[in-house]
Amino acid sequence: MNCIGKSPAVRAFLYRFVAMLSANVVIYTLTFIAFHRFQLRGMVAYLLAPLPALPIVGVLGVFALYLKEEQDDFQRSIMIQSILWSTGLLLAATNVWGFLEKFIDAPRIEMLFVFPLFCVFWVMVAPLVQRRYR
């Protein structure tokens, strides 16, 4: 974002965002190892599977906190547009790929990649939205 290093809201956002992504990687890896090594099934599997989703909910909370704390309306608008564009791209991409998987045997993409894909889209889209106003 343009005001990196200036706005306290942006600094807090980046700190929290990186913390949540790190938590996501750690919890994801541990859960993956647990499923793989112990061949988890039944109730234990159902109880463990939501764990990696917790930091994802946390990331949404980080976005919400930023929108609440940012005093600069314009930067808030940029963030909202970036989130909407990346969500739209994610929905479109997964829908298109769903058809390709179903009807032309395109390689299967795990649903586990949906959140990382959202992050990739958001990182790509945010600077483009910023550029519109330069």
Partner 1 sequence: MKNRLRVLRAEREWSQADLAERLEVSRQSVNAIETGKFDPSLPLAFKLARLFETSIEAIFSDESQSESPPAFPG
Positions that interact with partner 1 (CB under 8 A):
2-3, 6-7, 71-75, 77, 130, 132-134
Nearer to partner 1, 38 or 74 (CB): 74
DSSP per-residue codes, 20-44 = HHHHHHHHHHHHHHHHHHHT--HHH
Closest distance of CB 87 from partner 1, Å:
22
Closest distance of CB 127 from partner 1, Å:
12
Closest distance of CB 79 from partner 1, Å:
12
* Residues contacting 112, CB < 8 A, separation 6+: 28
Nearer to partner 1, 15 or 133 (CB): 133
Q: Cα separation of 59 and 61, whole Å?
A: 5
- The overall longest dimension of the chain from CA atoms, in Å, is 54
Nearer to partner 1, 2 or 94 (CB): 2
Closest distance of CB 71 from partner 1, Å:
7
Q: Cα separation of 130 and 86, whole Å?
A: 14
